[in-house]
Chain A
Amino acid sequence: QQQVKQSPQSLIVQKGGISIINCAYENTAFDYFPWYQQFPGKGPALLIAIRPDVSEKKEGRFTISFNKSAKQFSLHIMDSQPGDSATYFCAATEGGSYQLTFGKGTKLSVIP
């Protein structure tokens, strides 16, 4: 049972454009939603995270939007750059657990 569904699987965006990745979850006990960025040959690295008591969090060019009633959250990358080309994973944890439940990932390619 896939508890966190992520889409799209791949995304191609022009330099300067907006990249949008969506995730939906089923487990209402989830209470922490991080996004990870992974480059080839590297482990995932935390990009930005949100708790369900806020609807939006922005850090630089990266914004998480959170819709608790719809059980959905999304990552927006503004002014996308070629250096943003990587695989992005949404994730969720519940009740202070360190067990991350990941989405399947989105491979982002930003073309010049």
Chain B
Amino acid sequence: EDKVVQSPLSLVVHEGDTVTLNCSYEVTNFRSLLWYKQEKKAPTFLFMLTSSGIEKKSGRLSSILDKKELSSILNITATQTGDSAIYLCAGASGSARQLTFGSGTQLTVLP
């Protein structure tokens, strides 16, 4: 059974801090790892990392895939209160199309 584990479960920081969120995965026929941001609504797609694209960056957010360690990190620099959300990591397998989600990291950025 596919499994995705995220840590920490929750994180409280102040504006301007840098945070690193962790994700480890055990996915059969691993194809890609996706990061989503979820506020009080639907998950919003952030990044997709694959064997051919192991590092992505968008503004203050960046993510790296470690194929050897079967893990990924999501970095957020110069955090803002608007970054407060649950960050979900999901693994996608080549044989099946569904995503297996981790339990998420609840990030709270205080002013």
Bound pair: A and B? no
